[in-house]
A and B are shown apart, each in its own frame.
Chain A
Amino acid sequence: MDAIKEFWGYWRDDGRVGTRNHVLILPLSPAVSTSASWVQQAVPGTVSVELHQDIHPSVSGYPLAIRTLAGWVDHPNVYATVLLALSQDDPVVRDLLPQLGHHVRYRLVSLEGEGGRRAAQEAARQVAQDYLTASKSLERQPAPLSQLILATECGGSDACSGLSANPSLGFASDRLVEAGGTSILAETTELIGAEHILAARATSPSVDDAIWETVRHAERAAMRMGVDFRGGQPAPGNIAGGITTIEEKSLGCVHKGGNSPVAGVIDYAERPRMRGLVIMDTPGHDVMQFVGMAAGGAQVMVFTTGRGTPTGAAIAPVIKVSTRTALKRQLPDLIDFNAGSIIDGVQTREQVGWALFRKILSVANGERVAAEILGHREFGIFQGWGAEA
């Protein structure tokens, strides 16, 4: 197999490369979410999200929220952002703007500053239209694969996740890492019972320690509630699919990290400082994982699923991979790639792994995925594991 060494993307002023060239309409308060959607619809071709959480210093996880929003605005897939706020004196505005580098293109529009909702929406529409027009002048250029950050995730796991989709994704992830790129493995609660496998692949004692400590922290957070994981992990859908325990689910999940050495452990929404396979500390919640990995700068994402889900991220393509051929047939408009041919016995993991690697690069080059075509843009920010007892 010929080695693929580059993809075609949008070079940014800070030296990173986008797989998309989005104009993002980002609300900084739930109260302006409706306005953000209005602007997005008024300027077709832009993207927006709805914010349902209050972003305020009094709410737990505030620093995580600021870092997440900053990571979205300062993302290689984003050409420019229209920030919508109630007031330019809001704490979120005060704390977010200093986090943005000089290269970041954005404009803040506030209801207070514009003198009302209609005026603010109209002002934001005009800015969005100007940004969109300007963004068209940028063209894709070749970029090395070392510029690519892949986000990996599994959801609705079934007994085939660990046999077909996740090992295929792990194979593709290993090929990207070999080419100098970066792959993010997340979902800390689903590393429980498999941490020893990852720790054995740590590149240094400090990474080794970080893996054990990160997993222990998430496990304690669950135990502090005086419940066991059996209520929530594995989820009822996982159990119906044949998964009995969290350890079993985790052992299937970690396959998506392939066999690469673990180069680092990073916090939620943090940008990887190292290349290679990196673990990001995230909850098991699908949407929060995507949002956090996007904030970390991931430009392309793969979601393996045994039950199917339409979930997508507004600024990064999410490639849906089915674990079984029957699922691809059941949900043809949601699934981008079928790994079930491994279960059917007609293709090997390596064959499907190479095909998935090529699919990832094709999507990085601009091929649209189901979640983009259907307009999926789910959004939610992790608030942290809570303080140790």
Chain B
Amino acid sequence: MARSLQPVSSQETREPRVLLIHPNDTVAVALDPIQAGTSISIAGIEISVRDDIPFGHKVAIRDLEAGDWVIKYGEKIGVASQPIHSGEHVHTHNLESSRGRGDLLVAEREVQ
């Protein structure tokens, strides 16, 4: 099928889409893959993305201390396990669940 090749605006040329679900959220969701070094604008704030963020993954939109709640959907989704800087990928390496932690229960028993 003959079809003229036209320049198509690729994902690299347009700004990747990022979704802030709730105004209180401390993370936003990447609706396109984002490359490290990209600048994105969320709720009027300019954020320089520090890591590659895969589609559907979370990016911090403000600095968090270790032990701080991480908020998405306007709700607590877990605790920062290390300091997180704005623009960093937030996932299993720096965010921990606070629920269903039988492992912590065992650790507690071993200390006693």
Contacts and interface: CB of A to CB of B under 8 A. Distances in A.
Given A244-B95, A251-B77, A223 B102 contact: yes
Interface residues of A, number: 33
11 contacts: A159-B58, A160-B56, A226-B102, A228-B101, A228-B103, A241-B56, A244-B90, A245-B99, A247-B78, A247-B98, A248-B72
Interface residues of B, number: 32
A182 B110 CA distance: 47
Nearest to B92: A244
Interface in B34-82: 54-58, 72-73, 75-78
A227 interface: yes
Given A193-B77, A246-B97, A247-B75, A226 B103 contact: yes
Nearest to A247: B77
A358 interface: no
Interface of A: 158-160, 162-163, 189, 192-194, 197, 219, 222-230, 233, 239, 241-242, 244-248, 251-252, 343, 345
B102 A228 contact: yes
A223 B58 contact: no
B90 A343 contact: no
Contact of B78 (A189, A226, A239, A248): A248
B27 to A, nearest CB: 9
Nearest to A345: B17
Contacts of B103: 226-228, 230
Given A227-B103, A251-B75, 7 more contacts: A223-B101, A223-B102, A226-B103, A242-B30, A242-B58, A244-B92, A247-B76
Nearest to A241: B56
A239 B29 contact: no
A242 B30 CA distance: 9
Residue from A193, A222, A226, A245 with most neighbouring chain B CB atoms (10 Å): A245
